[in-house]
Copies of this chain bind each other. A is one copy, B any other.
Amino acid sequence: MSAAASPQPAKLAVSRRQRSTPYTPRIEALGVSDYSVVNHTVLPKGFGRSVEEDYWHLREHVQLWDVSCQRQVELHGPDAARLAQLMTPRDLRRAKVGQCFYAPVVDQAARMLNDPIILKLADDHFWFSIADSDLLLWAKGLALGYGMNVALDEPDVSPLAVQGPKSDDLMATVFGEQVRDIAFFNYSKLDFQGHSLLVARSGYSKQGGFEIYLDKSSLGLSLWDTLWDAGQAHNVLPGCPNLIERVEGGLLSYGNEMTRANSPLECGLGEYCSFDPTLNYIGKQALLKEQQAGPQRIIRGVLFDGDKTPPCANTWDLHVSGQYAGYISTAIWSPRLKQNVALGMIEQAYWDEGQTLSVQCADGTERNGVVSLLPMT
C-alpha cells in the first residue's frame, strides 16, 4: 500500500491464533529470533545468525526447517478427484498415487488463490499442501455450492523439511537407505517408531532434501530429536526458507511475488496450465483468452547495485526512461553474486533478459538494475 520505509524490528505478539507447532519447544530452545506467520501458524525465520550465514550453511550442509505452516487441505471421498481437478489448471488426470504436483489454484477469472503442492494419496484422497491463504474455505464453498460428495478438512499434519546437500545422508541414517531411491516430487511411506510417515523428496530450496509430513503431533519432538541427534555428524542446524537462496533460485512466495491480482501466466507458471480441450477446470476460459493474447507482465529476476538493500515491506516501482516498468516484491543482498537480487513483476515491454531499469528503493535511493531470467546463475 503506502511507501513506508523499512520497518523497525517489532516483536511478534504471542497468541493462540498464531498457532505453535509440534516442533515449537525445540525451535524456541534453539533460540528462534524471527518468526513469520503463514496460514495462522508461526514459521521460524531466523535463529540469531545472519541470512548470509544461513545461506552458505544451507548450500553446504543440512538444516531442519519447521514448515508446519504448510497446512494440508484434505479432499477425501467420491468427488475428491473431480474437485481437485476443478481447482487447478494442471492436468491431474494421469496423476499416480505417490506423486506430488506443484499446481496453481485459480478462480474463475484465472487469478491466483494459492500455489500448493498436491499429493495424491489415493484415487479419492488428496492433500493440497498450501501457501498462505485459507484455501480450505474456497474448497468448502465450491463443494457446498456444487453439491459435491467430498469431506474437506485440515488434518493434523505438520511438515518438517530436511534441506541441503547432506539431506540424503542424514535421512538415510534415520529412515534407511531406501530414502535415497525416492525420486524428485515423489513420496514414500516410511516407518518411524512404528508409525508410517509420508516422506517426499521436495522442499522450498534448490539444495535438495525432503519434507516429512508428520501426521501425528505427539511424535513431533521425537522426530525432531532423532533427526537432530543423527544430524550432529552432518553439521545440522535449525533453519528456514532462505531468502537469498529462494530469490536466486526463482522460488515464488504467494503473497509476495504474486497475489489474487495475478494470473498463473504472469507468474511464469504456464507449464503447469493445460489447455487440453477435454479438460475442465475453474478459470479455463479466462486463462485461455490470456494465453492467446499473451500475458502483459511476468515474474523475472532483477539484479541491482548499491549498498545492501533493505527488505521489501511492500512493492518498489521499476522505471525505464521514466516509464513505469513493473515492481519488485522481494529483495536481498547476495554474498555470492555480490549484488542485490530481487524478484518482481515486469511489464511486457521491459521483460527481456538484460533490460536495464531503475529501482526505487525504500531507503530513498534509486538503484541501477538489470532484468534476469530465473533461476539466476
Contacts and interface: CB of A to CB of B under 8 A. Distances in A.
A18 B314 CA distance: 9
A35 B12 contact: yes
A22 B2 CA distance: 5
A222 to B, nearest CB: 12
The winner among A24, A34, A44 for most chain B CB atoms within 10 A is A24
Interface of A: 1-2, 4-25, 28, 31-37, 40, 44-46, 107-108, 113, 132-135, 137-147, 154, 158, 217, 220-221, 253-256, 260, 282, 311-315, 329-330
B17 A31 contact: no
Contacts of A17: 36, 132, 253-256
Contact of A28 (B1, B7, B44, B45): B7
A214 B25 CA distance: 41
Contacts of A21: 1-2
A82 B20 CA distance: 38
A133 B134 contact: yes
A44 to B, nearest CB: 8
State the number of copies, please: 2
A330 B15 contact: yes
A109 B262 CA distance: 33
Contacts of A255: 15-17, 40
Contacts of A32: 7-8, 10
A144 B8 contact: no
A344 B212 CA distance: 33
B140 A143 contact: no
14 contacts: A2-B20, A2-B217, A7-B20, A10-B34, A11-B33, A12-B34, A16-B315, A17-B256, A37-B37, A133-B134, A135-B137, A137-B137, A138-B140, A141-B141
Nearest to A220: B2
A22 B132 CA distance: 22
A254 B45 CA distance: 25
